[in-house]
Structure 1
């Protein structure tokens, strides 16, 4: 399918705003999870996301540490 085959938009796409499921956390909930289509998705920020792996957490910490080193220069 090419871009020319798509119908034109008649209205602007809807933006869904999800905030973290944790109480009192007002961070953007960019990480959603649902065990099935019948269950509504729940959304969390990365800090509270319960389904992340240790490898993902380690990669994020390495990236943040590298950013801190660049900013301190």
Structure 2
């Protein structure tokens, strides 16, 4: 479908604002996950996202160590 085939927007698009669900974290929740289409999506920042792969976790650990953050 071409952009020229679409009707003109009559209102501004809706902005979705979601922050990390971790208590006390005010980071943008760019990583979402939902168990099904009927369940609402839950959002986390990358640091708190519970579904990271092993490789993603290692990259995060190296970045935190390079920044001088104590990694447990």
TM band (smaller chain):
0.7 to 0.9
1:55 paired residue number? 55
Residue 7 of structure 1: how far off its partner (Å): 1.0
Residue 70 of structure 2 is matched in structure 1 by none
Measured in 1, the distance between the counterparts of 2:14 and 2:57 equals: 31
Equivalenced residues, count? 65
SS at 1:40's partner residue?
coil
2:47–2:60 CA contact under 8 A, matched in 1: no
Shift of 1:51: 0.7
User: What is the CA-CA distance between 1:60 and the residue it aligns to?
Assistant: 5.3
Secondary structure of the residue aligned to 1:19 is coil
1:54 Cα deviation from its structure 2 partner: 1.4
**After TM superposition, what 4+ stretches of structure 1 lie above 4 angstroms from structure 2?**
59-62
Higher share of residues assigned helix: 1
Tell me the TM-score normalised to structure 1 length: 0.76
TM-score of the two chains, using structure 2 as the length reference: 0.77
- Give structure 2 stretches of 5+ with no counterpart: 68-72
